[in-house]
Amino acid sequence: MIPAHLIFIMKEFLSGFLIILSAFTFTACGGGDETTSTSTNTSINADQKLYENSELAIAYPQDWEILERDDFTSNVPASTVVAIRSNIKNEKFTPNISVNKKDFTQDTKSIDFAKGTIEQAKNTLQNFKEIESKAVKVKFGKNELDGYLATFQGKNDAASPVVGFSQLYVVNGKTGYMITAAYLFDADQATLKMIDSSLNSFMLK
């Protein structure tokens, strides 16, 4: 039986499964103008760029491209702030990272946010397999917030490739952020390392 507080999260973030499924659509999205900055007090590697707005920042591979609202197809959830996609297109699946934001109606813990969303993934993806989950810290200005990182894999449908997902969840008061990295489950180590670096760089201002 699913605990009541997780049912609340699942209802609050009903679009969670749409966010997961939207990872399969970013291959079809058009490219956009880059919005980058280096003004945030966040260290980035020489092979990275920095995307930021007034409330968050994330480093990403320098040869990936930024997709914003004007570049999205109609099936990308309105909660998506930005998507970042590899410039090396793959006919099966192109690696991508998306940042999503959700305002809750009550204070929520990052771990509950994560577990509610993972429960949706179990019910949405075919051949779902949870690989790892752990508590992490997310930078918030000069402080830190409790976050949660989960890795799992699954398929959109029988004809789709098996895709790996690494999701970072963090809640600041009543506002939740979910950063979703999606990639072929057998992606090379260089791609996985770049994705891990991006997720670890995410911060709130």
**pLDDT surpassing 80 at residue 33:** no
Alpha carbons within 13 A on the beta-carbon side of 108 = 31
**pLDDT surpassing 90 at residue 3:** no
- Read off the pLDDT of residues 143-161 as tens digits, 9 standing for 90 and up: 999 999 999 999 988 999 9
- pTM for the full model? 0.84
- Read off the pLDDT of residues 171-201 as tens digits, 9 standing for 90 and up: 999 999 999 999 999 999 999 999 999 999 9
Q: How high is the pLDDT of residue 27?
A: 54
At 39, the pLDDT band (50, 70, 90 cuts) reads: very low
- Read off the pLDDT of residues 68-80 as tens digits, 9 standing for 90 and up: 888 887 778 888 9
Dihedral pair phi/psi, residue 164, rounded to 5°: -90, 145
Task: Give the Cβ contact number of residue 127 at 10 Å.
Answer: 11
Q: How high is the pLDDT of residue 4?
A: 47
Measured CA angle at 44 (ends 28, 33), to 5 deg: 35
**pLDDT surpassing 80 at residue 133:** yes
Asked if residue 154 lies in contact with residue 127, where contact means CB atoms within 8 angstroms, the answer is: yes
- Read off the pLDDT of residues 98-109 as tens digits, 9 standing for 90 and up: 999 989 888 889
Q: Is the dihedral of CA 63, 178, 81, 144 positive or negative?
A: negative
Measured CA angle at 188 (ends 76, 168), to 5 deg: 45
